[in-house]
Structure 1
Amino acid sequence: MMESREPQTFTRKEFEKMNQMVKDGDKEAKKFIVIDNKLYDVTDFVEDHPGGQDVLLTHVGKDASDVFHAMHPDSAYEMLGNYYAGDLEPELAKDDNVANSAKFAAEIRDLRDKLKKEGYFHSSKLFYAYKVLSTLALCATGLGLLYAYGRTSTLAVVVSAFIIGIFWQQCGWLAHDFGHHQCFDDRKWNDVLVIFLGNFCQGFSLSWWKNKHNTHHASTNVHGQDPDIDTAPILLWDEYASAAYYGALDDEPTMVSRFIAENVLPYQTRYYFFVLAFARFSWALQSFMYSFNQGAINKSAALNMYERISLVLHWSIFGYATIAWNSSIYNMILFFMISQATTGYTLALVFALNHNGMPVISEEKAEKMEFFEIQVVTGRDVTLSPLGDWFMGGLNYQIEHHVFPNMPRHNLPKVKPMVKALCKKYDIYYHDTGFIKGSLEVLQTLDVASKLSLQLSKKAF
């Protein structure tokens, strides 16, 4: 009989040494992550990670337990076992502040287990059927109005464009819900709805969105890792981004980069709202290019084909309606611009409220913080009426969504008091505000970065 071998136990020093080799750029160094104090060698898995390689790379050399449990189905545990490399020795006792954060994380884990048993992670199919059908009704109303009156009434063109813009925004919130697998237990059906609502209806690629959004959830507001705050050279949100952008100009700046640094970024508060009008078209263009250049996030040829066909159909149908159901070039341009700008504003204003103006964390500091604490302190909840909840697609419960990303949106208001109470118990900062006050906080953050940019531009040149 063969004797079973005891799993290898790595010391913390051994683990740090292996990670340092990765940080030093050693191409032969193996990449490890820690989940539940077990070590997993993901060196050969990075490129095949179904959620995108960027999100996995942000947690190489770190404890990824909480982010793994928050964002993966039970079926992922079986796959994870294929990369098991050994155990990691227990961590030493932490100081009081860190220990407090660890206790908070432990209670959040217990709360998640409790909520799962009580059915909070089970969706109401009736709710999502209503949301999908009512959202598609917006599309039918907008296109029907354009078809019936677009050739004779400019007012009808304007109203139709606005309705279509809101339709795209609401498709975005629904695609977000299905993308987080909030509705169906079988993840395949969630992806089908994302392709329909996201790719076909809205014009945003599932793979582009998941690659970007998964990384955002894994490293929320972490400088150098979260793609949602990496908006240079259009907007700078914090001192880290400002220092990095202007520091890079030391190496022979071009005429364009110098012009942006001196004459654009120091005045970003003034053009902020103008930029938002182009947000939707910019994202749609990035999405289209990603799908045709990068392919599907899970390397599936079938998924890639479905995505590309849906994106082409989206622009074909929208383009046909724009040209065929308008009587003049002027109205065609008007319909295009208003529909794009409506979605741009209504998406971007919500996105900005989610995290902009909240603390941005350095990579070094993030490594010392608990995952759940990062999710709470970097998020902003917005208290609104039921109409406001509809407008923001439930993302006004941003903190709860980041703590429980696969919880159906209709249950987030129910768990908000529970999360808030735990934050108060462990002195974890929980920010809850109104729409206007939150928007002013975003503008104030931009203004601070603008003044810093003006100072840095004077030093740089």
Structure 2
Amino acid sequence: MMFEEKPEGNGSLVDENQLHLGARHQANSKPGASGKARLSARQEANDKCDLPRKSLNMYTWQEIQRHNQETDQWLVISRKVYDVTGWADRHPGGRKVLNDYAGEDATDVFRAMHPDPDIVRLYLKPLLIGELAPEEPNQERNKNSQLVEDFQELWRTLETMNLFNANLGFFFLHLAQILTLEALAWVIVWHFGSGWLVTMFISCLLMVAQVQSAFLQHDMGHLSIFKKSKWNRLMQKFVMGHLKGFSAKWWNNQHSKHHVKTNIYPKDPDIDVGPFFVIGDLQPVKYGKKKIKFINYEKQHLYFHVVWASFLMPVYLNGNSILMMYRRRDWEDIAWVSSFYIRYFITFGPFYGILRTTVLIYLVKFLESPWITYVTQMSHIPMKMSQEENQDWFSTQVLATCNVEQSFFNDWFTGHLNFQIEHHLFPTMPRHNYHKVAPLVKSLCAKHGLPYVNKPILKAFGDIFRALKKSGALWKEAYCMHPET
């Protein structure tokens, strides 16, 4: 969940101008005064926490849990109770993301989705309505309080180890790799011409660049790589819009929903893929009982590999991105995405012409699509999918994700998404630190009897096939057993 003004960049609530404005209200100094007179945003947050306040209302969990409707949304963060109903319309993920945690403890997800929670807490203050009664536990009574405490202690340990600090050089080397591949493709066409063998070769180079751009934009969407939020937002728009040709705001909107309720049906949009597929154990039975048959789901595992893997990026996701931009009249994102196509026409148009350059663009997207599809789906489709069970953050993410064994190739090929467990537990952690965290997460799973699934990459790909086949069989059984009504 991200409490922020604009659905942009890395999840930061406010830009630099807003922070300075807040500091000027807090500090009795003129705008433009010396650095000593201006409080840092973090110091300001600490100072505000120390200010005396009126006594707050006390609430029980039973009272809080009643406020879980779209028009009445309360949630708890660090024992403080917030009414976020009026904020929901300004939330980048829309009302649905906030409603997903309404009536629940959101402490861990709040911290997980914000690179700097201290700054965001400044803007939570107007939403504060009370706190948990002293006799109430920190979390709902159905949650494993010891596991929650152990996970929070692990988080503090990782902060002490500075594992949430990004290595700027790592990400610039990644960007340099992408730009080098694109430049090399242009040099090859310029030198060797535009024959079909050359076209296929440069398409493969551009495809690799596009895949690595997807991984880099994924980083930009989660991290505060730069100290100033405006540079984070600009970098994400450059990578997502200019290098990838997708709307950054559309990606942020969808991806936040996926992270806050991973594999929870129907709250996670990444698993709400009907009518194209039925996945998990619940959706197939639901479709079967209702006699829903858009395709023969018994054969969906074949359809996935033959059709869906190739069309996911160029047709489904690309179409949704364009549709959202134009529905919202988001001219800034439209300009960035347009620059992607303009760049291709300027770069390759002189060699191929307009029509063949258009074909080249979509050939690259079709080649890229299976790679992205397998990497993103191998860690979720074979894992637990359920309806809302209100589990703790740690259990939810561990049960809904799995890892792929580490190697230099696997790290590069997956953009470090082979550490999917660590990525979902700590979305704002830079990926070059996942391997350092993995042993600690595995140890915590062992302590509390949770599976820590780590597979060879080929097995992970095969498990997509097997999981889809199993779900198709569940649909077929339910479809045949229940007569039409």
The 5-angstrom pairing of residues 370-385 of structure 1 reads 370-385=392-407
**In 1, Cα distance between equivalents of 2:226 and 2:267:** 30
- Tell me, which stretches of 5 or more residues in structure 1 are unaligned? 250-256, 296-303
Match of 1:316 among 319, 339, 342: 342
Give the drift of 1:407.
0.8
Query: For residues 144 and 234 of structure 1, do their structure 2 counterparts lie closer, same or farther at Cα, with a shift above 3 Å needed?
Result: farther
**In 2, Cα distance between equivalents of 1:310 and 1:317:** 11
Q: Does 1:286 align with 2:320?
A: yes
Matched residue, 2:24: none
Q: Does 1:171 align with 2:220?
A: no
**In 1, Cα distance between equivalents of 2:156 and 2:289:** 46
Query: For residues 337 and 117 of structure 1, do their structure 2 counterparts lie closer, same or farther at Cα, with a shift above 3 Å needed?
Result: same
Give the drift of 1:394.
0.8
**In 1, Cα distance between equivalents of 2:244 and 2:442:** 34
**In 2, Cα distance between equivalents of 1:37 and 1:170:** 41
Query: For residues 268 and 323 of structure 1, do their structure 2 counterparts lie closer, same or farther at Cα, with a shift above 3 Å needed?
Result: farther
Q: % of aligned pairs identical?
A: 26
Query: For residues 141 and 68 of structure 1, do their structure 2 counterparts lie closer, same or farther at Cα, with a shift above 3 Å needed?
Result: same
- Tell me, which stretches of 5 or more residues in structure 2 are unaligned? 1-51
Query: For residues 38 and 328 of structure 1, do their structure 2 counterparts lie closer, same or farther at Cα, with a shift above 3 Å needed?
Result: closer
Give 2:55's aligned amino acid.
Answer: E
The answer to whether the Cα contact below 8 Å between 1:354 and 1:398 also exists between their aligned partners in 2 is yes
**In 1, Cα distance between equivalents of 2:331 and 2:384:** 40
The answer to whether the Cα contact below 8 Å between 1:232 and 1:245 also exists between their aligned partners in 2 is no
> Over the residues paired in the alignment, what is the CA RMSD in angstroms?
2.5
The answer to whether the Cα contact below 8 Å between 1:34 and 1:40 also exists between their aligned partners in 2 is yes
Give the drift of 1:94.
9.5
TM-score under structure 1 normalisation?
0.86
The answer to whether the Cα contact below 8 Å between 1:162 and 1:338 also exists between their aligned partners in 2 is no
Q: Does 1:203 align with 2:237?
A: no
Matched residue, 2:333: 307
Matched residue, 1:253: none
Give the drift of 1:44.
0.8
Query: For residues 322 and 446 of structure 1, do their structure 2 counterparts lie closer, same or farther at Cα, with a shift above 3 Å needed?
Result: farther
TM-score under structure 2 normalisation?
0.82
Matched residue, 1:449: 471
The answer to whether the Cα contact below 8 Å between 2:210 and 2:243 also exists between their aligned partners in 1 is yes
Q: Does 1:186 align with 2:186?
A: no
More helix by share: 1
Query: For residues 243 and 185 of structure 1, do their structure 2 counterparts lie closer, same or farther at Cα, with a shift above 3 Å needed?
Result: farther
Q: Does 1:119 align with 2:162?
A: yes
Give the drift of 1:316.
3.1
Matched residue, 2:310: 277
The answer to whether the Cα contact below 8 Å between 1:208 and 1:287 also exists between their aligned partners in 2 is yes
Query: For residues 235 and 319 of structure 1, do their structure 2 counterparts lie closer, same or farther at Cα, with a shift above 3 Å needed?
Result: farther
Judge which range, 318-327 or 158-167, deviates more: 318-327
The answer to whether the Cα contact below 8 Å between 1:143 and 1:164 also exists between their aligned partners in 2 is no
**In 2, Cα distance between equivalents of 1:201 and 1:434:** 31
The 5-angstrom pairing of residues 43-122 of structure 1 reads 43-72=85-114, 73=116, 74-89=118-133, 90-91=135-136, 101-122=144-165
**In 2, Cα distance between equivalents of 1:162 and 1:92:** 56
Give the drift of 1:191.
1.6
Judge which range, 231-240 or 215-224, deviates more: 231-240
Give the drift of 1:91.
3.7
Q: Structure 1, residues 115-162: CA drift from partner, whole Å, max 9, x if none?
A: 2122111111111111111111111122333344353x2111001111
Matched residue, 1:265: 297
**In 2, Cα distance between equivalents of 1:83 and 1:318:** 47
Matched residue, 2:372: 347
Judge which range, 82-91 or 120-129, deviates more: 82-91
Query: For residues 436 and 371 of structure 1, do their structure 2 counterparts lie closer, same or farther at Cα, with a shift above 3 Å needed?
Result: same
Matched residue, 2:28: none
